Amino acid sequence: MSIKKIGIADLQSGLYILKGDKEAGCNLSSRVCNSTVSQNIWHMRLGHPSRQRMAILNKRFSYISLPDTTSCDVCHLAKQRKLTFPVSTSYASFIFDLVHVDIWGPCTMTSMNGDRYFLTTVDDHSRFTWLYIMKNKAETHVHLINFISMVKTQF
């Protein structure tokens, strides 16, 4: 096995940055590797901890920067709480004999239209699911009446 030098790196802010000059023996790939480091890099590497935890780490390790967590999509999507449903072994014999309805929300992040709740309707026999997106829980009544009308007219 031959050893080949791919470049020289300097330690900067806790990261090794490859030198991109010809004397270091690097090529174009080192410039790509050294592209702008995001301010949230440590936030992402450490598993998206809260801003308070990052502040503690920042006090101890000065090279760990405080993230701008308001722009972290992963934190908003991955940290939403949800409960699991118990496993059911019973099934309805015909479609719409048994329908499961659940209201989910409020979401920590609103949609572009300002919606914060979801109404899910699941047919027990076919497991077909309908999803209604709502701004508030008060819309549930209208969606259920429309769902029942749709079932009566289309099925």
Give the domain CATH number at 118. Answer: 3.30.420.10
CA distance 152 to 121: 15
**Do 15 and 66 fall into the same domain?**
yes
CA distance 48 to 57: 13
Check whether 118 has a pLDDT greater than 90.
yes
Across residues 82-102, what is the average pLDDT?
A: 83
| Amino acid 83: pLDDT | 66
CA distance 96 to 93: 9
| Domain that residue 65 falls in | 9-76
Domain count, the chain: 2
Check whether 117 has a pLDDT greater than 80.
yes
**Do 72 and 122 fall into the same domain?**
no
Is residue 87 one of the residues assigned to a domain? no
pLDDT band (50, 70, 90) for residue 141:
very high
Angle at 45 between CA 42 and CA 51, to 5 degrees: 50
Whether the CB-CB separation of 131 and 118 falls below 8 Å is answered with: yes
pTM for this entry: 0.45
Report which secondary-structure segment, H or E, holds 154.
Answer: helix 140-154
pLDDT in tens, 126-136: 889 999 999 99
133 contacts: CB under 8 Å, gap ≥ 6: 111, 113, 115, 117, 118, 119
- Checking 5-13 for CB contacts under 8 A at 24+ apart, the result is 13/37, 13/63, 13/65
Minimal CA–CA distance to 19: which of 38, 2, 6? 6
Check whether 7 has a pLDDT greater than 50.
yes
Is residue 81 one of the residues assigned to a domain? no
pLDDT in tens, 34-71: 444 566 778 888 888 888 888 898 888 887 878 765 66
**Do 109 and 62 fall into the same domain?**
no
CA distance 124 to 127: 5
